[in-house]
Chain A
């Protein structure tokens, strides 16, 4: 949150640079002494994990691009060459592919955490919107990256997803076809399509990095939300980011990397589809096209709606609705922990997302289709009906008087209590 700068340059160079480009001051104020609520739990470590994953994906991606051949004839073979011939190529490619999955694991948890603790509510609406924008950019980037392998699943995923735009033909005849041929650079998915997807796959991570900086900026104006949703009231409610949360985030990254490494070294293909090891064939559609696991809930929504255009609108709307969540939630308090009715709907929503993920991988008929439709209805009802209505009729539980009180109990309200270790050591730590 906004706080007076406490940076004191000591060295001669420190003073010189501070009057020219005060970068050390920004680092000190925003990442060292930054006042952070003292009660953040481990769900708050995923922002750091995500930053780490973005850097890791960019590093592995840049080196993979040194060996990849972006052409319809060469792409598949160059990926196999990376796997077999390039020094450490197997490690770099698997780290990039499994890394994409782990990136989405983290971003989904991060998003659900924001939903649960009401982190989108005033004054953090812009922070939330930038986050949804990052999610959209990640989806686009991951989709394009998957296409670059140019296996059967890559090719047909691109075909199916780009054909979604042809649904616009039912609004204005010809518009969809014109748009799709513009995206393809031909009359079907082919070499020109692959080249432009490669170009954009290289570009978008840098766009994401830019929006991440805005996201962190928008976080540092109001400061972190916290598990109680109660605002920071005094300095005693906060501790400096470093070393308290730098250590906590670092420890969480280590735990996250253990899971990452287990997937990477023991089952690197567990989350991918074997058909993508068959070179792309424009004359044969695989018997069962499924997207990567992180797109399955959205794919289930697409297939649940029995109209091409409305299916597309539903799938895009599933993410677009997140943009207006700050204005859909009418509750006066943030944290779901203090909302006895909404809590049940929230966890049903989490189950809905997981169920849609399962249904997205099944053939859309019979009971699968029935439940796909039922969960799709709940997905949208949660945002458009439950959020506004429950917020109005619910009587929330009593909130703690302050963040400190929620941590230390009633003793925190006694004036002579010993000072907590955090805030008073701040000067020494800085």
Chain B
């Protein structure tokens, strides 16, 4: 697409390569586009969690003082983590649930493969069955469910009840009544001993 003016411009001889201007035009446009796109990324990426936020990645918790039937809440990455010392009755109830009645069939356990089924064994701490460690945020719209304090209403399944839109969770933190779509997430954690918990 030669510019018609070039035919009358003495500085551009007719035998000059007719695509010379096109090359310059395309190259200039391409550099401007790539440069603009390269600048756009820092402008967008600056909003992602910064280095100081990422550095708060793990915490240590001594769960020794938490008696059977009690629960504590700790903060990890700005989120509440529920740590519940479950009673034998609560464990039995969680184990008796058939997987096909669950709304979300996956364990949502960061320590297990993504497709691990939501059995109680996959939800509770490995070899430390009474302990349930999970992020205490309703998977619907992010409210904090009730059920940590002794007097709280825990819903029909004895676990947690979200006051915002009525979701209910069982004693393994699995959603049993919607609108929440998923079981509460289990963060990456390890037990260094029976009472030393490291989250993150």
Chain A residues within CB distance 8 Å of chain B: 156, 159-160, 162-164, 166, 170, 181-190, 192, 196, 282-289, 303, 306-308, 311, 364-365
Contact = CB atoms under 8 A, between A and B. Distances in A.
Contacts of A311: 179
B35 interface: no
Given A182-B47, A186-B49, A285 B143 contact: yes
Contacts of B21: none
B117 interface: no
A162 B73 CA distance: 23
Contacts of A160: 141-143, 164
A170 B182 CA distance: 10
B166 A285 contact: no
Given A185-B48, A364-B166, 10 more contacts: A159-B141, A164-B141, A166-B142, A187-B53, A192-B49, A196-B47, A283-B80, A287-B163, A289-B143, A306-B179
Contacts of B47: 182-183, 185, 196
7 contacts: A160-B143, A163-B142, A186-B49, A282-B80, A283-B80, A308-B141, A365-B166
B79 interface: yes
Contact of A188 (B48, B73, B79, B179): B79
A182 B79 contact: no
Most A-side CB within 10 Å, residue of B144, B178, B180: B144
Contacts, number: 76
A388 B75 CA distance: 54
Contacts of B142: 159-160, 162-163, 166
Dominant secondary structure at the B interface: loop
A331 to B, nearest CB: 38
B77 A308 contact: no
Interface string B178-193: 1111000000000000
Interface in B136-153: 140-144
Nearest to A307: B179
Contacts of B49: 181, 184-187, 192
Interface of B: 44, 47-50, 53, 73, 75, 77-80, 140-144, 162-166, 178-181
A162 to B, nearest CB: 8
B179 A308 contact: yes
Nearest to A187: B77
Nearest to B49: A186
A288 B166 CA distance: 11
Contacts of A159: 141-143
Contact of B181 (A170, A188, A196, A286): A170
A308 B181 contact: yes
B116 to A, nearest CB: 15
B78 A282 contact: yes
Contacts of A364: 165-166
Nearest to A283: B80
Nearest to A369: B166
A188 B77 contact: yes
A308 B103 CA distance: 13
Contacts of B143: 156, 159-160, 285, 289
A307 B181 CA distance: 8
A200 B184 CA distance: 32
Please provide the 9 A-B residue pairs with the shortest distance between their CB atoms, ordered closest to farther. A188-B78, A163-B142, A187-B77, A285-B143, A160-B141, A163-B141, A285-B144, A159-B142, A186-B53
A303 B165 contact: yes
A170 B139 CA distance: 12
B163 A190 contact: no
A306 B50 CA distance: 36
Nearest to B53: A186
Contact of A181 (B48, B75, B181): B48
A396 B72 CA distance: 68
Q: Which of B44, B49, B50, B162 has the most CB of A within 10 A?
A: B49
A190 B166 CA distance: 25
B163 A288 contact: yes
Contacts of A164: 141
Contacts of B181: 170, 308
A283 to B, nearest CB: 5
Nearest to B164: A289
A284 B144 contact: yes
Nearest to B180: A308
A243 to B, nearest CB: 49
